[in-house]
Amino acid sequence: MTALNGPDPGRGLVINGRSLGRYAVMAVVNRTPDSFYDRGATYGFEAALAAVDRAVAEGADIVDIGGVKAGPGDEVDVAEELRRVVDVVAAVRERHPDVVISVDTWRAEVGEAVAEAGADLLNDTWGGVDPRLAEVAAAHRVGLVCAHAGGLAPRTRPHRVGYADVVADVIAHVTAEAERAVALGVPPEGILIDPAHDFGKNTRHSLEITRRLDELAATGWPVLVAVSNKDFIGETLGQDVRRRGVGTTAVLGVSAWLGARVFRVHDAAAARRALAAVERLAAS
């Protein structure tokens, strides 16, 4: 791991006219009854809004609203996903006019509706499985997360997945997606790349990506990391989902040092403290 004299800010990060600092905290707000971490604690409409209020008070720059659990589970069709997320986006836009609103979806239909409701960023965690989503981002001039899921279908888990070089595979995919998005008209300053730890990857792959995150940062595209309480941390440390906070903080610190810019987390306050410490260390 190469120590840097502070991460290179790379491309300016401006999402739908909202400028973000050196590090941006993206708080997870799940409008799902079965999320792996909170088990539905923020599924209710008022509970979701309260979670957004808390996250903003704790220093979140971005709130990432999701209506479908990432892993396998009950089917959620387009209509149900729309029911879960559109009204929340509209309410958050009214309550917090300055926060960046992200929506975690791979569906173009959902992207269209949430962009109209006030979303600033479409978080496509499944790696462009619906190519029309980038077209929606371009049409509405909103930001886009270009992620790598190894070709996996949404809501499926990897099985004996293999890469000759996982980091090279990630870089090739996400940069191609980013360049396609720019060609379609997505504002380049609003594009993020995400290696998507654990999506289409086993623990060894996710650890390798973490150690070599500076290679993604070197592409010049701002890097988002979504590692909060994930399985690769739990498997590495032998901890269940409720005991992965310390491991998450450690991975956040390493990722920031190696050049990541945006950090998707369940605990915005802890992430903000960790990133402040990294920034002070880099400046000393």
Report the catalytic residues: 230, 264
Can you tell me the distance from the alpha carbon of 193 to that of 147, in angstroms, rounded to the nearest whole number? 6
Instruction: State the greatest distance between any 2 C-alpha atoms of the chain, in Å, as a whole number.
Output: 51
What does the domain layout of the chain look like in residue ranges? 18-283
CATH class of 18-283: alpha beta
Average pLDDT of span 228-243: 96
Per-residue model confidence as pLDDT tens digits over 62-94: 999 999 999 999 999 999 999 999 999 999 999
pLDDT at 6: 35
Task: Say yes or no to pLDDT of 2 above 60.
Answer: no
pLDDT of residue 180: 98
Tokens of 155: 């809501």
Q: Is it the case that residue 230 has pLDDT exceeding 60?
A: yes
pLDDT, mean over the chain:
94
State phi, psi for 50 to the nearest 5 degrees.
-65, -40
3-state class percentages of the chain: helix first, strand second, coil last, to nearest 5? 45, 15, 40
pLDDT at 198 over 50: yes
Cα–Cα dist 105/18, whole Å: 21
Say what the pLDDT of residue 12 is. 58
For 7-16, 25-34, 128-137, 256-265, which range has the lowest pLDDT when averaged over its residues?
7-16
Check residue 153 and give its pLDDT.
Answer: 95
The better pLDDT of the pair 36, 100 is held by: 100
pLDDT above 90 for 159: no
Regarding predicted confidence, which is higher, 5 or 143? 143
